Structure 1
């Protein structure tokens, strides 16, 4: 499996474009590809896509630094992001503080930024979309 590539795939329950804009502003995320349900060359099975989702995001990929994350609006209600966090390592404490504050807007701080034995500046939060983040400075 040395050639395997593992990428997170996030389902935003109808808020994918909002999340892309938010991460673009907060993290400089760049959308690399975006396909709407209405762009699908093959119609989905009846009842699979909720009514009103025709212009929602069926699939997209975006880049944060060297990492690519895939995402969608999904086809189900009640997106939950339990059991994992995205870990973001930044080059300095000022950048870690800036990003932590931006990601925390409308979210919830789980551990304020503080010095730890592995980082001069580490903290954890859940953003407004329910995504857990662990922010650290090198």
Structure 2
């Protein structure tokens, strides 16, 4: 069994995934649009055809999934969870990932040495997704 996060965006999923590719040295491994899907019918607004119906993102063998929400759904509001990135034994790489994710976002806890010995920081990225970045070194 694997438990994987699924992020929903308000029309900017592809932009967010390209941002995460750069920040996390990852890649989009699958991306399906509404156009050509079973959802592509007369009820689908024309501006939704190019939006992401489903995508899979991989960074270092760990993946999460994402999409643009369905037409008419409210914009997502992320609360009560955070995406967690652990980069063991490389605080420099972890700090780079933290700083990249923080671009245009809001830092809640700066990335620095934590009382438990690891380097750790928390932020909300420019898409509203909360992140925790950790490096045990």
**TM-score, normalized by the shorter chain, greater than 0.5:** yes
* Cα distance, 1:77 vs structure 2: 3.1
Query: 2:124 corresponds to which residue?
Result: 126
Matched, 1:21 2:5: no
Distance 1:112 1:59, change over 3 A: same
Q: Give the ranges of 4+ consecutive aligned residues of structure 1 lying more than 2 Å apart after TM superposition.
A: 42-47, 117-120
Query: 2:102 corresponds to which residue?
Result: 104
Answer whether contact 2:40 2:49 (CA < 8 A) is retained. no
Unaligned runs of 5+ in 2: none
**Distance of 1:90 and 1:66 partners within structure 2:** 12
Query: 1:52 corresponds to which residue?
Result: 47
Query: 1:68 corresponds to which residue?
Result: 63
Unaligned runs of 5+ in 1: none
Q: How many residues align?
A: 133
Taking only aligned residues, the RMSD between alpha carbons, in angstroms, comes to: 1.7
* Cα distance, 1:106 vs structure 2: 0.4
Matched, 1:10 2:11: no
Normalised to the residue count of structure 2, the TM-score between the two structures is: 0.89
